[in-house]
Structure 1
Amino acid sequence: MNSITRSDQVAFEERYLRGLARGLAGALLFSLPMLMTMEMWHLGFSIPKGRLLLLLLVNLPLLVLLSHRIGFERTITWRDSARDAVVAYAMGIVASAFILILLGVITFDMPPRQWVSMVGIQAVPASIGALLGRSQLSMAEPDDEDDDADRSSPGDDNTAGYATELFMMAVGALFLSLNLAPTEEVILIAYKLTHWHALALICVSLIIMHGFVYAVAFRGSHQAGPEDGGWKAFLHFTVPGYAVALMVSLYSMWTLQSIDDLASIEILLGVIVLAFPAAIGAAAARLIL
């Protein structure tokens, strides 16, 4: 009995360590574009403390909820999910600091406030990437499949399931919008848009979102049943998902100072532009997560 318990413990530890390794790989893979973006470096010098603190505080419960679904191991209690979220955050911080030091962006003569801000901003997508690494960089192991099946079992009530779908879309939208929000190209495109371009971009965003999930048969895509009707899934998931992408885009641009000193119409057009990749990220999150 003791030998069985010991072997189970060893197997558990091996799986957890593999999950940590995948998490570190995911943190590097998914955050590298931002780690090598000049606009993100400059934010370390200029981002207001309040906005940075809010971003870091928002990210923590987001990681807890995400960990409960795709953490480094199967988590039953919220305490375990919180532990994995803290580990993912730590991985994001370590990976971001290591790469920024390696690239010479952070130097030892730099004021602490600047490098803390740089690492703090970069740790958000890196920590999300750490958790995504578990689901996207893992081989098809039976235990992992069982865990995912248990977590996505239809035993949850419909309201909780719908809220989970919206949350996962918000995660995907936040991840992609953070990559692009600080770049000047988003505002430049917004300046070039006419109102007709903006309307067309909204329509295309909605079509792509819906097509990704329901039409093109990607792995993880959903099939709308006959009872759903042609428009029910579109109105129930795609339109709210696009609204989530818009709100996340606005928040990302505000946090990263992309819309400071802009007129209302310019802010609106900028949000519509950023919501295009954010909507794709939201749709992809429904497939992946």
Structure 2
Amino acid sequence: MTLNSQSSIWQTELLNLLRGASGGFLFGMPLLYTVEVWWIGSSTTPLWMLSALGMTFFVIYFLNQSEGFRTALEIRLIDAFMETVESMAIGIICALLALLLIGRITLETPLNETLGKLVFECIPFSLGVALARSTLKGDRAPRKVHKLRSSLADRVFPAFLADLDATLIGALIIAFSIAPTEEVSLLSASMSPLWLLLIMFASLVLSYCIVFVAGLTDQKERRQQQGLLQNPMNETLICYLVCLLASALMLWFFQQLSFDDPWQEWLSDTLVLGLPASIGGAAGRLVI
């Protein structure tokens, strides 16, 4: 096996993992901001944890029997089993990173509570990994969809405005149900300024990976779009700002923030809600 072929295999494998992780975050983020799930995870028993993992494994196994997140057309039973194990592993790792990011798991968290939260949060993440190819993979979409997108962008408004519109819609779909809850202020109150910077960095990286790295859309076409705002970095930054603005407006709309609150509270709450909003915004740009 040549060095180039080995490199190609590793690149393909990395792309598969990134695609699975991106699908995991798309499906798992809303449940991550649910305090009831934190409580259930804190009080659940080991037997119930095993039962939850077993049921999740059973569901993902049958999903992978029909079509996994790799490109193989024929999936044997052993292949479906191995992909199920890998889907669960990716989902668990993504859920662990997400729980660490929002501070629901720390070094001081008891082991049983950590495992309980991780088990229940990894369920939607793992399902998202399993569904990443069959639901979201870009090369399965008919080419006429992309032609329609280009036609609408050229004739009605510039392409970057279409991206901003899709970003806003996606952010609202994901974050609108989170904004009126107390979880946002609860999380932001426990985060330091440095940790909020980490939240902002993670939001940018995740949205960039979902749209431009994970292979969930026709990335070559997106990268070929013309205009100052249409390169990947500029688009990611500007769309993130749109998600932050939408997050602030949603928090104000649901009276979670008022103009009497200090700007630090506005900033911290907006950044915390901006994480799921930016992932939703990235998902919105996938479908246009």
Length-normalised TM-score, structure 1: 0.45
Length-normalised TM-score, structure 2: 0.45
